[in-house]
Amino acid sequence: MDANSQLAFVPPAHATVWQRRLVFSPLGRIVNFVVTMIAAGFVVGSVFHVLGWNAKDADPLLRAVAEMIGRLLPALVAYLILVRGVESRPVAELSLRRLPAQGGLGLAIGIGLMSLTVAVLWLLGSYHVLHTNPAADWAPAVLVVGVGAGLGEEILFRGVLFRIVEEGLGTWWSLAISALFFGAVHLNNPGATLWSSLSIAIEAGILLGLLYHVTRSLWICAGMHLAWNVLQGTVFGIAVSGLPPDGFLVAKMTGPGWLSGGDFGAEASVVALLVCTSLSGVLLAMALRRGSIVPPAWQRRIPPTASATPTTPG
């Protein structure tokens, strides 16, 4: 496989020097996205403030809907403007006709990873179910840490940061940079430590980066992210990145922090690290076998075409 075929966008051959540097360059497009997302976020936040949806005394479900939209809509709008307006290509990685199959595959991967992680923690005597809670308020978690965080963060970290940095610096640097940023944004979460953020960078940042590299699908990444978060908190009753759970199962974690994950949740457990890293190894082997690892821009010859649509599974 030609590494160039992995790239979703190639600058137009007729672009001027300043357009290549300010508009079509990796840094220029990332800045474009961030500025647009901040502006869209300000508009969305202002609308919700006027409507009172994000007020402390608002209905909890309405507030959750507002938070989900606030996490997702600015990133989605900015991404569509970037891809359709600047890169002038189809948004193949978010094709709606591929949502059922690819989103379903991502959900299955996330369910499998989290279920395996909890099963191992239970076998090791670290995860204990105390009782069930049929009245668990699952809707806010599904909306906020599921849909909002799952798709919103995947657009930002895989659709923009990983994909665009890969065009300039290549796959290896892109994996490292996007994973480190992904871990760093969790440093302010309750119960966060340097270990928890490093764990997230390795087990989720690298895994999701490789998953996007191999599939070129944001639906698969978002489905996995959503399933991991929702299953962890809403089903198994384990803290999600430090956020307290409200799950169908009321559980308690015991044992040393490196095993249980402590107050931060299963993401900071060495079990999750090993489970997710194992899948990362499989994905890396697939990428190496295909020859899809993209070298830095200065080590490859870019064909003079306006754009190239990424290859994604049907």
Render pLDDT for 172-199 as a digit per residue (tens, 0 to 9): 999 999 999 999 999 999 989 999 999 9
CB 173 within 8 A of CB 161: no
Residue whose pair of structure tokens reads 């919700």 in the numeric block? 48
Dihedrals phi, psi of 8, to nearest 5 degrees: -75, -25
Q: Which amino acid, residue 264?
A: F
Helix (H, G, I), strand (E, B) or coil at 104: helix
Dig out the tokens for 253 from the structure.
């974690």
Provide CB contacts within 8 A for 246, sequence distance 6+. Answer: 133, 136, 137, 138, 140, 141, 233, 234
pLDDT of residue 49: 92
Write down how long the chain is.
Answer: 314
What pairs with residue 252 in β-bridges?
Answer: 128
pLDDT of residue 55: 86
pTM score over 0.85: yes
pLDDT of residue 2: 57
- pLDDT, tens digit, 9 for 90 and up, residues 43-70: 999 999 999 998 888 898 999 999 999 9
* Backbone φ/ψ region at 191: left (φ over 0), alpha (ψ -120 to 50), beta: left
Dig out the tokens for 24 from the structure.
């079509």
pLDDT of residue 301: 63
What pairs with residue 240 in β-bridges?
Answer: 243
What pairs with residue 129 in β-bridges?
Answer: 251
**CA nearest to 180, candidates 198, 166, 162, 192:** 198
Q: What is the DSSP string of 28-77?
A: HHHHHHHHHHHHHHHHHHHHHHHHTTTSTTS-HHHHHHHHHHHHHHHHHH
Residues in the chain where the model's pLDDT stays below 70: 1-5, 301-314
pLDDT of residue 313: 45
pLDDT of residue 299: 86
Helix (H, G, I), strand (E, B) or coil at 137: coil
